[in-house]
Amino acid sequence: MTPEDVRDILRTVEDPDLGDDIVSLNLVNDIRVEGDTASVSLALGAPYAPNETSIANRVRDALSDEGLTPDISAHTDTDSSVLPGVKNVIAVASGKGGVGKSTVSVNVAAGLADRGARVGLFDADIYGPNVPRMVDADDHPKATQDDTIVPPEKYGMKLMSMAFMVGDDDPVIWRGPMVHKVITQLVEDVEWGNLDYLVVDLPPGTGDTQLTMLQTVPLTGAVVVTTPQNVAIDDARKGLRMFGKHDTPVLGIAENMSTFTCPDCGGHHDIFGSGGGEEFADDNDLPFLGSLPLDPRVREGGDGGRPIVLDQDSETGDAFRDLAGNVANMTGILNRRSLQ
């Protein structure tokens, strides 16, 4: 069996999203054959994304069916000088406050880490940093002799937040240049190490922090969070336009606080309307990443420091796990399309 024979076998494996075989899509980096072992390096850059895991499994099955022992690895080039060890930087944004953007950020990051990915969570909401409370992070960053910052970890995530730098009740009253300086420092001077995903919780709106992130950080893509109501959709549209002006891909739309299920009567109530996020995604030809129910346990998890996505026996936890998987899938699609 030669590498070309193996390549022909791999032509039978299709990408479920891009609609062609992985050889034609340039998703095979390298093939080596030693005896009965076929070592294949795949250009897959979204670790633990369900669809990329499926591709790798189908490659294993195709090789095994031909009597070969598969040895599968994945590699994509990362050329960022700002965050050289980080494969994907995902911004979570909203046009307005109060739509649960930080809740989505925390649960997406924790959901990816729970799948096995190496994850960092950067709370870039300078004026209202909530992430440490939402994950019950007791430890604080430590400084090294080289004046770099070692982030604490919780639930398998490396954490950084302005909340670590100021007192619990101290307001942050800064103008734009100071915001730019601090955000840049918290990105570049933190020892993030090798990460599959760095999830960035942006503040609401389209201000200085967002501009700094768009100009200095190599964002892979953004998730726009909204509720179903028209007021939130109007502001989400502005956030969408912001990413468009800076050529940042939008991975999709997440609709939070969708439907409330009454624990007493079992009835379903659309407190903030219904379907607005999905309609917004359709109108802008964007993926709809999922609806997240209005559930008191989400608030309890945020206040208590344990993200609902880690609750394996909850339908709401399932919804957040699906969201994390869809975010990873869209990240993978974006990366694989870039190879075409």
pLDDT digits (tens, 9 = 90+) for 300-327: 999 999 999 999 999 999 999 999 999 9
Q: What is the maximal distance between C-alpha atoms in the chain?
A: 67
pLDDT at residue 167, as a whole number: 57
Sequence ranges of the binding site for ATP: 95-102
pLDDT digits (tens, 9 = 90+) for 205-254: 767 778 888 888 889 999 999 998 888 898 888 888 888 888 889 999 99
Residue 276 neighbours by CB under 8 Å, 6+ apart: 226, 227, 228, 229, 230, 232, 233, 255
H or E element that contains 30? strand 28-34
CB 111 within 8 A of CB 321: yes
pLDDT digits (tens, 9 = 90+) for 86-114: 999 999 998 778 898 999 999 999 999 99
**Domain boundary assignment for the chain:** 3-74, 89-337
210 HSE (CA, 13 A, CB side): 24
Sequence ranges of the binding site: 95-102
CATH classification (class only), 3-74: alpha beta
Architecture of the structural domain at 89-337: 3-Layer(aba) Sandwich (3.40)
CA distance linking residue 267 with residue 279, whole number of Å: 24
